[in-house]
Amino acid sequence: MTMDYDRYDRIRAVQWQGDRLRLLDQRLLPREERWIDCLDAGQVTQAIRDLAVRGAPAIGITAAWGVVLAAKQGASQDLALAQLRAARPTAVNLMWALDRMKVCIAAGADAAALEREAQAIQDEDLAANRHMGELGAGLIAPHSGVLTHCNTGSLATAGFGTALGVIRAGVSAGRIEQVYAGETRPWQQGARLTMWELVRDGIPAKLIADSAASHLMRSGTVQWVIVGADRIAANGDTANKIGTYQLAIAARHHGVKFMVVAPSSTVDMATPSGEDIDIELRDPAELLAVAGQRTVVEGAEAWNPVFDVTPAELIDAIVTERGVIERPNTLAMQALFG
Ligand code: MRU
């Protein structure tokens, strides 16, 4: 499959500058393209916690650079590792990247060696995404329509994206004709971030309200739902952005296929099933206001889980850089990741 990366892989939201980490502030997009500089591990932790940087692979990469900053400044690496690890609970890429850095530290790595490791984590993620793009696009029949959720593109990764990488590859290969993106309440990753990436690339895309998804599937215009993941358990159960589970249920009901795209750094074989995944609860205020303006009556309460778990039996394919698992279960997961 020939892929025009010059056109479809131009965004780098996490940039190491040698003495600081530069992040494209995802809270402000698409209104403003503002970069923030993190000068120490504390600032990196805060950027992850406050969603200046988000998306499972990007969080892991960013955290690795946070450890490098601590090493360069002679700050406590144990403290940096602990703070970064606690920044967000669900995306296992965070723990995976920090464990990799920890192994290097235990082997006596100096700041330069840690810098090489963080760069390797970032480079491997980009390579994985490009490979998954090809694998995933190969599953899609020509002239298909697809629906995606949240943001899984360059902003959420080292570049190109996971589910959005498959979409980019599918569009480039002429297999995908129309993309639909759910707005992804409450933080609007789909509306604010995915649409920004798709429009920049000139990909035919339409935004839908999250609540329009079943109606869209019923119309017959989408053949695949394609999403990323924050953690894939040993039995194939997959945690991803809140709303993914209901898309999988609706997809099965309408005969629409459901694809999860994630690098092996998102696979957590130490977590037996989705029941064991820690689901992040965020501030109810995120639901009670829109763009900082309160929209719900004072005194109202809200419940704001930001991920859910899609059971493996609702997933038709898990695409990783190691290969594709169709109809995932413990045995198939074990064969590829055991
Ligand atoms: O809360 P977020 O924006 O970090 O959640 C992101 C998602 O759920 C993505 O779908 C997932 O991390 C995969 S990104 C390649």
Instruction: List the domains of the chain with CATH numbers.
Output: 5-128 (1.20.120.420), 130-337 (3.40.50.10470)
For residue 324, give the H/E element and its range: strand 323-326
Nearest atom in ligand 1 to 56's CA:
12
* Residue 316 annotated in active site: no
Rounded distance from Cα 242 to ligand 1 centre (Å): 10
- Site to probe by mutation for ligand 1, drawn from 23, 122, 184, 189 as the one with most ligand atoms within 8 Å of Cβ, is 189
Can you give the pTM of this predicted structure? 0.97
- Would you say the C-alpha torsion 269, 274, 277, 279 has a positive or negative sign? positive
CA nearest ligand 1 atom 10, residue = 228
Rounded distance from Cα 55 to ligand 1 centre (Å): 4
- Would you say the C-alpha torsion 310, 311, 313, 319 has a positive or negative sign? positive
Three-state DSSP at 177 gives strand
Closest CA to 65 of 108, 117, 11: 117
Pocket of ligand 1, beta carbon within 6 A: 54-57, 91, 150, 152, 156-157, 162, 189, 228-230, 240-241, 306
Distance CA 69, CA 90 (A): 24
CA nearest ligand 1 atom 15, residue = 152
Instruction: Determine which one of 9, 230, 237, 308 is catalytic.
Output: 230
pLDDT tens digit at each of 338 positions of the chain: 778 898 889 999 999 999 999 999 999 999 999 999 999 999 999 999 999 999 999 999 999 999 999 999 999 999 999 999 999 999 999 999 999 999 999 999 999 999 999 999 999 999 999 999 999 999 999 999 999 999 999 999 999 999 999 999 999 999 999 999 999 999 999 999 999 999 999 999 999 999 999 999 999 999 999 999 999 999 999 999 999 999 999 999 999 999 999 999 999 999 999 999 999 999 999 999 988 899 999 999 999 999 999 999 999 999 999 999 999 999 999 999 99
Closest CA to 152 of 240, 233, 278, 69: 240
Nearest atom in ligand 1 to 150's CA:
10
